[in-house]
Structure 1
Amino acid sequence: MDSKAYQLVRTDRNIQYNVYYAKATKQSTTLLFVHGFPSSSYDWHHQVSFFTKLGYGVIVPDMLGYGGTDKPLDYTLYAHSLVANDLVNIIDGLNVQGPLVAIGHDWGAFVVARLANIHQDRFGAFGFLSIGYQIPNATATYDEIIKENKRLYGRQLFGYWDFLSEENAIDLIEQHYESFMDLLLAYTATSINKISEIGGFRPYLLQDIHDPLPNYLTPEEAKIKKEIYRKSGIKASLNWYKVVRSDLDREDASKIPKEKYQVNKPVFYGRALNDWIAIPAIFDSSMAYTPQLTIRNYEAAHWVHWEKRDELNHDLKKWLEAL
Structure 2
Amino acid sequence: MEGIVHRTVEVNGIKMHVAEKGEGPVVLFLHGFPELWYSWRHQILALSNLGYRAVAPDLRGYGDTEAPASISSYTILHLVSDIVALIHSLAVDQVFLVAHDWGAVIGWYLCLFRPDRIKAYVCLSVPFMPRNPKVKPVDAMRALYGDDYYICRFQEPGKAEAEFANNSIEQVIKNILTSRRPGPPILRKEGAGSNSDPSRPLPTWLSQEDVTYYASKFTKTGLTGGLNYYRNLNLNWELTAPWTGVQVKVPVKFITGDLDAVYTSLGMKNYIESGAFKKDVPCLEEVVVQEGVAHFNNQEAAEDVTNHIYDFINKF
Which category describes the TM-score, using the shorter chain as reference length? 0.7 to 0.9
Alignment partner, residue 171 of structure 2: 179
Alignment partner, residue 120 of structure 2: 125
Q: CA RMSD of the aligned region, Å?
A: 2.5
Mapped pair 1:248 → 2:238: no
Contact 2:125 2:257 in 1 (8 A): yes
Counterpart residue type for residue 296 of structure 2 = W
Counterpart residue type for residue 298 of structure 1 = Q
5+ long unaligned stretches in structure 1:
151-155
Mapped pair 1:273 → 2:258: yes
Alignment partner, residue 43 of structure 1: 39
* Cα distance in 2 for residues equivalent to 1:49 and 1:57: 10
Alignment partner, residue 9 of structure 2: 9
Mapped pair 1:298 → 2:290: yes
Mapped pair 1:140 → 2:135: yes
Query: What is the TM-score of this pair, normalised by structure 2?
Result: 0.87
- What SS does the corresponding residue of 1:92 show, helix, strand or coil? helix
Alignment partner, residue 163 of structure 1: 153
Select the structure that is richer in helix: 1
Contact 2:256 2:295 in 1 (8 A): no
* Cα distance in 1 for residues equivalent to 2:59 and 2:86: 11
Residue 49 (structure 1) shift: 0.4
Contact 1:137 1:249 in 2 (8 A): no
Counterpart residue type for residue 66 of structure 2 = D
Counterpart residue type for residue 295 of structure 1 = V
Aligned length: 304
* Cα distance in 1 for residues equivalent to 2:196 and 2:220: 21
Alignment partner, residue 98 of structure 2: 103
Residue 171 (structure 1) shift: 2.4
* Cα distance in 2 for residues equivalent to 1:315 and 1:121: 23
* Cα distance in 2 for residues equivalent to 1:4 and 1:101: 19
5+ long unaligned stretches in structure 2:
none
Q: Which moved more, 1:283-292 or 1:178-187?
A: 283-292
Contact 2:149 2:185 in 1 (8 A): yes
Mapped pair 1:213 → 2:209: no
Alignment partner, residue 108 of structure 2: 113
Q: Which moved more, 1:201-210 or 1:225-234?
A: 201-210
Contact 1:271 1:297 in 2 (8 A): yes
Mapped pair 1:200 → 2:196: no
Identity, % of aligned pairs?
A: 23
Query: What is the TM-score of this pair, normalised by structure 1?
Result: 0.85
Alignment partner, residue 153 of structure 1: none
